[in-house]
Each structure stands twice: as structure tokens, then as C-alpha cells.
Amino acid sequence: MTHRQGLRFELAPDEEQAVLMGRHCGLSRVVENFCLETVQKKKAQQEAEKTYGITGEDLTTVPWSAPALEKEWSAAHPDRFPWFAEGRLSSRVPKEACRVRAAGIKNFFESKNGKRKGAKLGWPKWRKRKHGSRFRYDADRAKPLGPRTVKLPAIGNVATREDMSWLTDRMATGKARILGCTVREQAGRWWISFQAEVDRDGIDKRRQAPQDAPACGIDLGLKTFAVLENSDGTKEEIHAPKPLKASLRALKRANRKLAKTGVDSKNRAKARRRVGRLHLRVADRRREFLHQATTRLTRTKSAIAVETLHVKGMVKNRRLSRAISDAGFGEFVRQLDYKAGWYGSRVWKADRWFPSSKTCGDCGRINHALALADREWVCPRCGTLHDRDENAAGNLLAAMLADASA
């Protein structure tokens, strides 16, 4: 069975290739903004025509779809953007930029009409340089040529800092297929992310969770990232590195130096890169911790019970928002979801309003007076002393087992 999977590798471009990739990032941003400008102008023209009594086929057509936006770009760029044809730039990048913009507009209307689940999406915004440098290739236009080389159209063969044998070996045997890729720059470093369709049957069978593996309930928190209650009676704790908290002092110092530099000076560019490197290190440490924790859990547990946290609402607490964002609860649960499917485990999510912390694990009484600051509490009915996190993990495990037996 094939799975869609993302694989990211760091690139090692030479100076000329880095400049070309930067130009393609600018091209992608220009095309996305051109598409948004075109849609808004044509829509405004159509609304104005309706007020004049114009109807039907006489109305201006709004280019909502990717092919329509590509047609508008092809007609406009010779006059408005003559540098596109003169600058050795790939024609695939505008094509993907049009698709990205069309998908954003489609998602907005589906969200507005209730056809898309999740939080309501707003109208697409203008792309700016501060939003990040990236561009896309469709299908397998960009692909690995070997374990250490990637072919990028209009840029050339770019070396990688990481070995891609895991992907290239499977491509050679037909067990992997490139669907598209994104090239991105962060803190002066370049990465390529392949979206691939991979046959994982052989990999997953070798790493399946044992049949006699215990089930567990997981309570997520800030003091201790995760407290686990296993069905065999054992307990575990997972402590997060809290990378943002550990780097706050260095970030404050780097931002102060950045604020003191002159506008458009070389020192300002160096200070900006320093801040970017610190933020990148924070993100990398958090990502590595989450991947290691979720991989270990899904390979060693038969079933995992987790809370359904409203993270977007939780970060509105101004005293806890930084710590909550630093933990990465949403990404932790997302990774558990797809890795459980790989390794034969199962993830059970409690209802958002399930009182896991307030319910006594012995008698079932709900302590409505429990406050967030109470780390331990005594049940008024049976007198049992509970550790808040361990009790919540046990209640989640019991609820999952009861739901499975029912």
C-alpha cells in the first residue's frame, strides 16, 4: 500500500545556484501576487457591470481556476514582466504559483460555505519577502539524480548535504514516485522537500508494534510534557527540551544587536542572519524531539489515548501562550496520527470536554473545584490523593479501554 510522504533534504548550492534560486523565489512571489491582483480586479469589474444591468455571458469572466490564471499570466508577462523571458527562469514555477493561488481561493470559498472542516479561512493575502522565500516544481520536474545530487530545472544539478539513498533506492525499484517538490530558504540555508508516493509495506512490517504491546493514556502538560499510564501498570514521563525557553537569552541579545544596526547596512544583514539561525535551531530541536517521541510511542504501544486540546484557544492565555507554543502539542498529536497508521498502532482521541483531570480515577466523582494551579488533589468522596497528571492519564486509558470493549 502506498502512502504520501514528505522528505526534506538540505541543499549545498554554489554561489551562482543560490542566486538563481533566490530569483525563482522572487518569481513565485510575483506570480502569486499577480494572480491575486487579477482576480480582485476582474471581480470588482464584474460587480460594477452588474450595477449597469449587464448579465450572463456579457459579464467579465473572473479567472478562479489555475488554468485560467496561467492564461492571464502568459498574456501579461511579455509586457509587464519582460525580465521573466530574459532571466533563465523556469516556466514550471509560475505554473505552480498559479495552482497555489487558485487552491487558496478555492479553500476560502469552501470554508465560507461550510464545505471545509476546521477554522474559517480568510481571503488569501499578498505574499511578502518576510513571509519566506520558496518556490515549487510540479510532478518530477525536479528529482534526485543520485544519493547526493538533485536536478533543478533552470538551475542545474545541485549537491545535497544529506544522503538521499533512502529515496533514490526506492525510486530505482519503483517503490517511490515524486509528486512535486518545494525549494525553501531559511536563515541563509536551502532545503528541498519532496512530496512522494512511497510503498511502505516492507518498512512498516519490520517495525510493527508488538502484538502484546501495552496500551497507554497520555496526559499532555507544560511542567511535564507527557505523563503516560500503561495498561500493564507502569508509568512513564516524557520531558520536552523547551527549546524556545532555552534560547530566549540568546534571542534577546541578538535582537538587541539587530535593533542597533543601521538600516540596509552589512552589519544589519549579519545580525538578521544571526537571529534567523537561532530561530531555525529552536525549530529543529523541537522537530527532532517530537519525531523521536512519536516514533518510539507508535512502535511500542498497541493503542494510545490522547486529549483533544483546543490549542488555538489555549494560546490566548497571555501568561502561558509562549510555553504552550514551545511545547508543540498539535504537531505531537498529528505525528501520532499518521505514524500509528504506519506501525499498526491505534490513536484514540477523547472528547474535548472530557474531564480527565477532574475525574477521580477510583470512584469516578468529578471535582468541579479543581483549579489549574492544583497539581495534587484529594477526592472529597473517597479521600484518595491524586497526582493531577497521572490521574488524567489513567482516566484517558480507562475511557479508551471502555470504549473499545463497548
Which one of 151, 174, 199 terminates a domain? Answer: 199
Q: Are residues 135 and 282 in the same domain?
A: no
Examine residue 350 and state whether it is found in any structural domain, yes or no: yes
Q: Are residues 23 and 142 in the same domain?
A: yes
CB atoms within 10 A of CB 119: 8
Q: Are residues 152 and 264 in the same domain?
A: no
Examine residue 206 and state whether it is found in any structural domain, yes or no: no
CB within 8 Å of 188: residues ≥ 6 apart: 273, 276, 277
Torsion angles phi and psi, residue 266, rounded to 5? -65, -35
Expressed in percent and rounded to 5, the helix, strand and coil fractions of the chain are 50, 20, 35
Q: Are residues 76 and 17 in the same domain?
A: yes
Torsion angles phi and psi, residue 346, rounded to 5? -140, 135
The amino acid present at 290, given as its one-letter code, is: L
Q: Are residues 275 and 365 in the same domain?
A: yes
Tell me the C-alpha distance between 36 and 25, whole Å. 17
Q: Are residues 20 and 126 in the same domain?
A: yes
CB 8 within 8 A of CB 196: no
Examine residue 85 and state whether it is found in any structural domain, yes or no: yes
Tell me the C-alpha distance between 23 and 152, whole Å. 13
Nearest residue to 370 (alpha-carbon basis) of 350, 355, 352, 354: 355
Q: Domain residues for 54?
A: 2-199
* pLDDT value at residue 259: 96
Tell me the C-alpha distance between 5 and 338, whole Å. 10
* pLDDT value at residue 130: 83
Q: Are residues 242 and 157 in the same domain?
A: no
- Compute the radius of gyration of the chain from its Cα atoms: 26
Examine residue 209 and state whether it is found in any structural domain, yes or no: no
Count of structural domains, the chain:
2
Q: C-alpha 223: how far from its chain's center?
A: 24
* pLDDT value at residue 381: 87
Examine residue 208 and state whether it is found in any structural domain, yes or no: no
Q: Are residues 46 and 72 in the same domain?
A: yes
pLDDT truncated to tens, each residue of the chain (406 aa)? 788 999 999 999 999 999 999 999 999 999 999 999 999 999 999 999 999 988 888 899 999 999 999 999 999 999 999 999 988 899 999 999 999 999 999 999 999 999 998 888 999 999 998 888 999 999 899 999 999 999 999 999 999 999 999 999 999 999 999 999 999 999 999 999 999 999 998 888 999 999 899 999 999 999 999 999 999 999 999 999 999 999 999 999 999 999 999 998 999 999 999 999 999 999 999 999 999 999 999 999 999 999 999 998 999 999 999 999 999 999 999 999 999 999 999 999 999 999 999 999 999 999 999 998 899 999 988 889 999 999 999 999 999 999 988 7
DSSP tag of 228: E
Q: Are residues 178 and 234 in the same domain?
A: no
Which one of 167, 199, 231 terminates a domain? Answer: 199
Which one of 199, 233, 252 terminates a domain? Answer: 199
Query: Rounded to two decimals, what is the model's pTM?
Result: 0.90
Query: Residue 236: beta bridge partners?
Result: 228
Examine residue 204 and state whether it is found in any structural domain, yes or no: no
Nearest residue to 95 (alpha-carbon basis) of 128, 141, 132: 141
Instruction: Take residue 354 and report the three cell numbers written for it.
Output: 472530557
Query: Residue 8: beta bridge partners?
Result: 193
Q: Are residues 96 and 154 in the same domain?
A: yes
Tell me the C-alpha distance between 366 and 369, whole Å. 9
Query: Would you call 86 helix, strand, or coil by DSSP?
Result: helix
Examine residue 211 and state whether it is found in any structural domain, yes or no: no
The strand ranges marked E within 140-282 are 143-146, 149-152, 156-160, 176-186, 189-199, 216-220, 226-230, 235-238
Examine residue 224 and state whether it is found in any structural domain, yes or no: yes
Q: Are residues 252 and 366 in the same domain?
A: yes
Q: Are residues 24 and 119 in the same domain?
A: yes
Nearest residue to 10 (alpha-carbon basis) of 150, 170, 171: 150
